[in-house]
Amino acid sequence: MIESRWAGGSPAAFGLLGDVSGAPVNDLLAEMVHATAGQSFLEWQRYRVAAELDSQLVGDEVLTDYRMIDSTALCATRIATVLSIGQIAAEGLLARAVALRDRLPHVALCLRDGNVAPQHIRTIVSRTDLVLDEGVAATVDAEIAECLRRKGSWSANRLRDMVDRIVYTHDPDGVRRRREVAKDARAFWTENDADGMGVVGASMTAENTLLLAQRVHAAADHVCKEDPRTKAARRSDALVALTTGIPWECLCGDPDCTAATGWDTVPTGPATTAVIHVVTDQSTLTSDKDDQPGFMPGYGVISPDHIRELTKRPDTIIRPVPTCAPAAQPADPYRPSAALSRFLWMRDQYCVWPGCDQPAMRCDADHVTEYDHDNPEQGGQTTPADMNSKCPFHHGVKTFTEFLDDQTVAEHGRPHTTITTPEGLTVDGPAHTGHDLHPQLDHIEFTAPPNGPPPPSPEEPTRRRPRLADKHARRRHERDRNRCAREHDDTTDPPPF
């Protein structure tokens, strides 16, 4: 039996706080960051050990071993046995360890140094696995590591987009192969689930996924506020209505409710237009040799071939981004113009709050320095330098609590944002933005409109009741339902009925 060398040790021996009781909030948050970096270090050690196991137990034999249970499988079996994990999980761990050793040594050092979280290693390894040329692999590894060491924060989507951008730039052939295989494998399937439920699944192109999601979400939102279903349940029902032609109804119980009017028996859904956006360079559209990837909001980075494929759709509209546009509405200097709104979601791509992956198209355009409604010339301006994208939740956190944000824009147009907690701890914003994909964004200029009437100040949103009251209400509802079910069982005749 392998005994733990951790539990008996003092946290201080590992550079950790011994007694956390009563420690200042900032010290506790810094300790969480330090402990998370420690997880990265330990995961690097696990991969290093796994790679050494591969060297000793597999080595070059991987090229000539035709056994079903080969040396790689047996090496993974040893790992699975001592870690009490499944064989597939152990083989995956071993494969990532070998990839970090052979293809991504600089990324491995970033893991050691705490520049990347353990959960992101799967993304990096899997999305670089078709880079077969050793020279290209070395370049990809070095560029990914350089990005990981940037000042700033990473979310799951921003890291994925960064890796895809680098791979698409240096190995477009690998991307084409992977996309064609994935496209040919698109499918539709159903599965039985527990309690009389079922699961429907489908794989399709990114643009079709977004189009379908927009129609489902639009239908699900076409109910009144008294509809008892959760948002997820409404979307499930909306998909059934849109694909079968059954009437779409609000379930509030009010016979006079007209919220669902117009959504009844049209099999193809409501009379709305679903729109997806793609951001790309002009050269990618006009030249088959340009391998600059683009960006599809709500999905992420897409390949140049995918972009050119989309331009051949009969419903595609191409709109060049103007190089000079007004920054705000002509009659309202507080509200950004349509051009500035598009620029913000092209530049920010996601909510700028550290770790948030809400697409910028579904975010609010927020004034970083608060707009002075009484004296607009003295307050935050409606300009790219003073505006960024925040999801409704983080916008509310910034507006109505003691969290602070700041933003500076460098000469090349790249914004640097920071978030400061109420206790004064400052965290850097995203390390990867739309400027990495489209450096030409800094060529766009905006003109300020004349001053107009000031808009009303926002009001802080409130709940119908406190969070704890909601929790207690859900518990009461669950108890009542269980009690009714139990009483029904008690009145039922026992077998054989």
Alpha carbons 89 and 81: distance in angstroms, whole number = 11
How many other CB atoms are there within 10 angstroms of residue 122's CB atom? 12
Q: 80: which DSSP letter?
A: H
**Tens of pLDDT, residue by residue, the chain (497 residues):** 567 777 777 788 778 888 888 999 999 999 999 999 999 999 999 999 999 999 999 877 767 777 778 888 889 999 999 999 999 999 999 999 999 999 999 999 999 999 999 999 999 999 998 888 899 999 999 999 999 999 999 999 999 999 999 998 898 876 666 677 777 888 888 888 877 788 888 888 888 888 888 888 888 888 888 888 888 889 998 888 888 877 888 888 888 888 877 654 444 434 445 577 888 888 888 776 667 889 988 888 988 888 888 888 888 888 888 888 888 887 788 889 989 999 999 999 999 999 999 999 889 999 998 887 777 677 788 889 999 999 999 999 998 889 999 999 887 778 899 999 999 999 999 999 999 998 888 888 888 766 555 555 566 666 666 666 665 555 555 556 655 655 665 555 544 43
378 is a domain residue: yes
Can you give the pLDDT at residue 344? 94
221 within some domain: no
Q: Which pLDDT value is given to residue 313?
A: 82
Distance (Å, rounded) from C-alpha 246 to C-alpha 310?
32
DSSP state of 60: G
Among 320, 360, 361, 326, residue whose Cα is nearest residue 340? 326
User: Considering the domain boundaries, does residue 58 fall inside one?
Assistant: yes
Tracing tokens 């450096």 back to the chain, one arrives at 439
Looking at the 3D structure of the chain, how many domains does it have?
A: 2
In a domain, 396, yes or no: yes
Residue 230 buriedness (CB in 10 A; 0-12 / 13-18 / 19+):
exposed
Look at residue 277 and tell me if it is in a domain: no
Domain-located, residue 74: yes
Dist. CA 381–CA 214, nearest whole Å:
33
Whether residue 196 is contained in a domain is answered as no
Rounded Cα–Cα distance for residues 344 and 359 (Å): 11
Cα–Cα dist 170/135, whole Å: 10
CA atoms of 417 and 269, how far apart (whole Å): 41
> Residue 350 in 3-state DSSP?
strand
pLDDT number for residue 152: 93
Asked if residue 152 lies in contact with residue 431, where contact means CB atoms within 8 angstroms, the answer is: yes
pTM attached to this predicted model: 0.75
In the numeric block, which tokens belong to residue 374?
């009484």
Answer for the pair 365, 344: CB distance below 8 angstroms, yes or no. Answer: yes
Nearest Cα neighbor of 145 from 97, 112, 178 is: 112
pLDDT at 314: 82
Taking each helix axis from N to C terminus, what angle separates 118-126 and 156-170, rounded to the nearest 10 degrees? 30
Which two structure tokens, joined as six digits, stand for 36?
A: 């998370």
Within a domain: residue 170? Answer: yes
pLDDT of residue 496: 44
Domain final residue, candidates 183, 199, 234: 183
Q: Which residues contact 216 (CB under 8 A, 6 or more apart)?
A: 235, 238, 239, 242
Q: Is 384 helix (H, G, I), strand (E, B) or coil?
A: helix
Residue 141's pLDDT is what? 97
The pLDDT value recorded for residue 161 is 94
d(CA 32, CA 48): 24
Residue where a domain stops, chosen among 134, 164, 183:
183
Per the structure, the complete domain to which residue 148 belongs is given by 29-183
Domain final position from 146, 163, 183: 183
């051009």: which residue's tokens? 339
With CA atoms as reference, report the closest residue to 80 among 91, 72, 69, 90: 90
